[in-house]
Amino acid sequence: MSIVHLPADTSVESINELLNRDGCVVIDGLMPKETVAAIRKEMDPWLEAAPAGRDEFDGRQTRRVGTLVGRSPSSHDIILNSTVLGVADQALAHATNYQLHATQVIAVGPGSEPQPIHRDQWAFDMFPFPQGFDSTFSTMWALTDFTEANGATRVVPGSHRGEDFKQFGLEDSLPAEMSAGSVLLYTGSLYHGAGPNSTDRDRIGLIVHYSLAWLRQEENQYLCCPAEVLEALPEKMLRLMGYARGAYSLGFVDGGIDSISAVRPDLVAASGEAVSLEEIKSTLA
Ligand SMILES: O=C(O)CCC(=O)C(=O)O
Ligand SMILES: [Fe+2]
């Protein structure tokens, strides 16, 4: 059992082969060092103000902050990274489309205990998806070096194929050690968890998760991005955030109108659906 590392210029097909086989893979150095520094600069003040976690899953010495789309312009290229989205296109190809599920900077603090090993898709109220079915695709970007000692995410390679609701201990898992700027990709069905931190410094990572567009998002993208940021976002980001139809009919406004009309009427597809939020509101008044 080992965690395969691939160089940043590896093809999407080769990455997906590994992801199918092991449920996880590390891509070394996919984020430029300048982007690591820029995201840290934008997010460190939020992180410093964040409270520690409330339970052993959140981590009592772990701090978490989200809303990366709204707070960290430098993260946008990471959320829309073409290699990652290319892998997601294949990893989540069993649904019509997928969406941004959650963004979060996670600082595992000194003295942190190991996080219970879990599947991210247990977030869906522990729904027992069929064996081998992935509802999410996860990325963990290292914003500091990740080492076994400082709490690198621990994974159980191959566990994505196994049964649901299994219990794994630390000894069943491997630390995804990687340098800052590298990314661990893993499927919603892969067992994993944050490792314990025995050093005197934070281990900082950025998770960007994607999910099938027929599921509820973990982080509420509609509520957590300020209007002035929404106005300037590219259409691809808005669609990924959920201002799009999920499958054939999910998430429309006013009987079938493209939901992007609620925030950016200028972007409504040329399908005769263009109606502004003002018009929608006036019909409701
Ligand atoms: O921080 C980590 O290494 C993993 C966190 C995680 O898996 C989670 O919170 O779901
Ligand atoms: Fe997780």
Residue bearing the CA closest to ligand 1, atom 7? 193
Domains and their CATH numbers in the chain? 5-212 (2.60.120.620), 227-284 (no CATH)
Cβ–Cβ < 8 Å for 146, 115: no
| Tens digits of residue pLDDT in 191-213 | 999 999 999 999 999 999 999 99
In angstroms, the CA 38 to CA 72 distance is: 9
Q: Could you identify the residue written with the tokens 């990455």?
A: 15
pLDDT digits (tens, 9 = 90+) for 71-123: 999 999 999 999 999 999 999 999 999 999 999 999 999 999 999 999 999 99
- Per residue, what are the HEC states of 90-156? HHCCCCCCEEEEEEEEEEECCCCCCCCCECHHHHCCCCCCCCCCCCEEEEEEECCCECCCCCCCEEC
* Ranges of residues in the chain whose predicted pLDDT is under 50: 271-276, 280
pTM: 0.94
192 lines ligand 1 (CB under 6 A): yes
Residues 85, 91, 97: CA angle, nearest 5 degrees = 70
Does ligand 1 have an atom closer than 6 angstroms to the CB of 188?
no
Ligand 1, atom 9, residue with closest C-alpha? 58
Burial of 39 (0-12, 13-18, 19+ CB in 10 A): buried
Does any ligand 1 atom lie closer than 6 A to the CB of residue 120? yes
pLDDT of res. 268? 81
Q: Give the per-residue pLDDT at 278.
A: 58
Which pair of tokens denotes residue 54?
Answer: 């409330």
- CB of 205 within 6 A of ligand 1: the answer is yes
The predicted pLDDT at position 225 comes to: 94
